[in-house]
Structure formats: C-alpha cells, structure tokens
Structure 1
Amino acid sequence: MAGDIRKAAILLMSLPREQATQILTRLEPKQIEAVTIEIARLGLVTAEEQEQALREFTQASPAELTGGKGGLEVAKELIEQALGKAASATLEAVKQSIEALPFAFLQKVDSQNLLTFLIDEHPQTIALILSHLSPNQAAEIIRGLPPERQVAVIKRIATMGQTSPDIIHEVEKGLESRMASVMSQRFENAGGVPTVAEILNVIDRATERHILDALAQEDPELVDEIRRLMFVFEDITKLSDRDIQTILKHVENSQWAMALKGASDELKQKILKNMSSRAAALLQEEMEYLGPVRASNVEQVQQQIVDIIRRLEDAGEITVSTNQEEERLIV
C-alpha cells in the first residue's frame, strides 16, 4: 500500500498541474490527504524513479523524464487547485504529518551549523541523523567530517536497517536541548545502501574515492553494491565520446542490442554515433531482430555493461563523473 501511494505521488508531481488536479478531484478526501502527504515528503525524485513509477500508469518515454521535485509547496498547490475553499483542513493535516517526520526540522538548518553539533558525535548517531536528511545536505555534512569518520559514518548508514522509535527519540532529545527544536518521531526504515549511493553521488570526487577505497579494504562486497547504485545505465549519456569509444571495445554488439531495447533515444543515438556506419546499421538490425524482450533480461545486460564501465574506471581507462560538476581540465 505504501509503495502504491509513493508511485501515485510521483505520477502526480510529474504531470502538468492541470492534469494532476483533474486526477485529484476524482479521489476521496482521505485519499487526497494520503497522496499529497507523500508528495510533500518526496523531495527530489530521479528520472529513473519517475520512469519506474510511470511505467505502470502510462507509456511515457524515458527520454522525456528529467527528474522532479516534490515538497510541501507542490502538495499545497495541488490541494488548493483540487479542493478550492475546502482545502484548509487537508492542508493542515498534510502540514502536521510532515512536521512529525524524524529530524524534519534539520532540513532548514544550515549544513555548516549542523556540522558543529554533529562533528563530535558517535558515528552511529551521525549516521542515524544523516539517513533522515536530503542527499545534498548529508553530503555536505560527510564532506566536513575528518576522513576516518567519513568512512565510519558511511559504513553505518549502509548497514543500517529499521531503527527503533526509542533510539530516534533519544537522539532527537539530545539535539533538541542544543538546537532548541522539538520534533516528534515515527517508526521507519532509515539508511541503507541506496542512501549511501545518493550521498556519494553529490559529494566531491576526491572524498568519494577516499571513502570507497578505505571501505573496500573492510568490505569490498558492500563497495560493489554501492557502486552499482551510484552509476546507472542511463548515466552513459553523460560520458564523453572518447570514453564511449573505449567502452565499445569491451562490450559485445549482442549486449548493446539487448541493453538499448530499454534505453532512451538520447542514449541510443549517443552509442550509434560513436560507431562506424556499418557497425551502427548492424546493431540496429540486431535490435529489430530481437523483437519484444523481457524487462528483467534487459536490466540484467544493462547491469553487465555498468559493471564493465566501473572496471574501466577503476583501471583509469575512462572517467565517470557522477557529480553535477565536471572535473576541471588543466591544459
């Protein structure tokens, strides 16, 4: 049920406001409240998560998905448009629900100020708090920690499962006394490898390499799992033509034919334009010959190619930048 509500929330925040409003007006008040609360909680949503949710509702083209953002303002706008004058009660319920999230007040606290409160805390405490922050805010805190504590915190986030309400409450009370903020808590899943991947995706490259290299000495399998989530197949569109050409030497045409069946048009063109005319024609023929294929088979081959890309990166043959900033080149 919770997963369905999240998918519905992603669908609504991805649609034009007019269409989203039309859908909301067909729901019962309690359903409107539930889905708009989820929209308010969403924060940033990746293009991949949009595609996964929308695939069940529509035939949307992945190439048109660029990610999006939820938040209380988006939820408020949709509620007001859908309910008009009757929106106030639902808006108040949404607001109260959001304010009840663990550590939600920290989203409005400057990261540097928060760092001064956290830098001397135990790594497990820091990990718990960062698991409830946005990836960008958590990345700023990680970056400000001493190198050895960065690794300790990241490892604890990655291995964290369900967290007891009593523990969350105790940590919140500690922050409450020092930051004069009071928040209630709720039982929820926190942390995990996806959280680590999101944090490291927005952290600077040097810090990312240090953390993963140090963590690999203790738990190489965990590092492999983190890396798999840090770079996804569609991220190939961000690579340079030179790197694409290097990758082409290590991936079979049959792999590309299967993997590109589920890719965006942008990625398909990126691969084809880096091939010779003959090789590109052969690849297109092989893709057409395959016909309909299982999504699981496509995803499996896409992951094989991602693994090859990661090995090439580790060997220094290509440069994979998962951050928004490109590394500065010195001529």
Structure 2
Amino acid sequence: MAKENTITPEQKAAAVVISLGAEKAAQVYKYLTEDEVQRLTVEVAKLGFLPAEVTEDILDEFYKNCMLQKVVTEGGMEYAKSVLEKAFGEDVASTLLGKVEKTLKSRVFSFLSKYDDLSIFSILSNERPQTIALVLSYMDSGRAANIIAGLPENRKISVVEAIARMDSAAPEAMKIVEREVEKKLSSVMTTDYTKIGGIDYIAEVMNYVDRGDEKYIFDELSKKDVELVEEIRKKMFVFEDIVGMDNLSIQRVIREVDQKDLVYALKGAQSEVASVIFGNMSVRMTETIKSELEITTNVRVKDVEDAQQRIVSVIRKLEDSGQIIVSKGGKDDIIA
C-alpha cells in the first residue's frame, strides 16, 4: 500500500473496520445501506497490508472526526472549540473546526446556486437590510456585489454596513430568513452558529463594486462610522495599491491587461502610481503609452474608473491563481 496521504476515504473506512475486529465490525454494518455494505466489503477485501504507522494515522484521524462530531452536535461550535483545544491543541482544533464551519456554511442557502442574480434580487430587494445582509453573506462575493449594485443608493449603505458589522448568526435568525424566501426557493437549514459576514467578507464584496458605487458607499458610510470604513479599506485592494506590489508582479499585470485600459487608467492615475507602472515597462512600451496619453483627451471619469477596475480584476485573478502575490492591509505577505 502507498503512503497514507494517497489512501482514499473508502480505503480509510476499510482500515477502521478491520481494526475494530470482526464482532464490532458486524455491529457497524447494521447501520449501513446495502450499497454501503457492498462497497465497504470490496475495499476490505482489496486492502491488503498496511504499515502500522499508516494504520495509526488513519485511526487517529477517525478518532478526531468522531470527537469533533460529538462535541459539535452536543454543545455547538463554542463548546466544540473549547473541548478540542484542550484535547488536541489550538492548531489541530482550528483545522478541524474550519472544516466543520465550511461544511455548515455551504449547507445554508446552498439553493442560491440554482438561481440567477436577478431572481435572487427580486426576492431580496424589498427585505430589511439585515435580512439582505444575512443572505448575501452566504453568497459568492461577486454575486453579492451584483445584488448590492441593484439596490437604491440609501439601501446600499445600510446593507454594506450590516454585513461589515455581522459576526455570527443564530439558527433562529437564519430560519426566519429562510421562511421569508421559501415561497420561491427551497432551503437546507443548519442548527448551529456559523461565522458569516464581517470586515473580510465585505472588503471582498467591495472589490467587485464599481468605483463610482464604491466612492458613494464609503463617503456616506464615513458620515456614520469613519473607523469602520478605514477597516474595510485596509482589507481591500484598489488600483492605487499597485505601488505596493513587487516589480515582477507589476510586470506580469502589464503583460495581461488591455493596452487601452492601461492608457485610460493612467489618464486619471496619481503621479506615484503612474511612475511605478512606467518604471516596469520597456522603453518602447513607455513611449507608446505616453504618446497615446497625449492624444487621448476628453475622457470621462467613469471610463477611467472602469479601466482601473478592470486592471484590478486582472490583478485579483492572477493573485487567485497564485501567479502573483499581493500584500494587503499593510502586512508583508512575502518571506525571503
């Protein structure tokens, strides 16, 4: 048998059953369907020899998962966190709970993936900001941004603020929201607290919002809570943050973006940003772009902002694929 990390979940199940012994394994079989019994029996027959250390690792993983299931079911996430940290330490507990939290969150409002943004917007548009915020917190950030963009100006502010201030949602709150939308959409509910919303999430959403809406939302939100706006901005990546990127990453971005977008973006760029971008171009390209800048006149502010946003989108895609590294929030993400 190969190394432990090449063993399939089915093979791990077989290893656990074999370790239990025939009598206890028979008790386990009583709780399985016919198909599960057949599949497990095939794996048991095929398994062959396993090194002792591999078997030990599999049983350790099984024990942790069993304990995790027990404490989450009996006492909720906070209780589970306390028990698991005492049993396995903070690092292992964090990893285990992260898997559970991801699973719980994916189950709530999972039906949203079957509907387009317009359908979801039609359901949410007349709801309270807190209700909209709760639903959007379970959606992909790009889709959430689309729905926010369709809201009236004053409601955009309220929804963004509600998401930013959100930390966790009680099962009762989620059930209420699900009942409000269940006339058109089916749902699967969770029965525990799950971390949703918050500064990180709304910053991700705001990265997808166009520059005009972004400026308006932050200007209005600043009138209510300047510190909240600053916290969100620290987590966001905006066009001006290019100055903090390393040269190789900037050069990669320049190769990927449309030259027309580059011209329009530079038309409204701060001198420091323009200097950094030109400093990462070839001499010939610099001359070409500067020539185009001279003949490109009467450019609308919106066109400049849209071009800058498209460049930011390219940066985000390159970062998501691991091709470049972007430092956010003043923290250095690179270790030499």
Q: TM-score, normalised by structure 2?
A: 0.46
Name the larger-Rg structure.
2
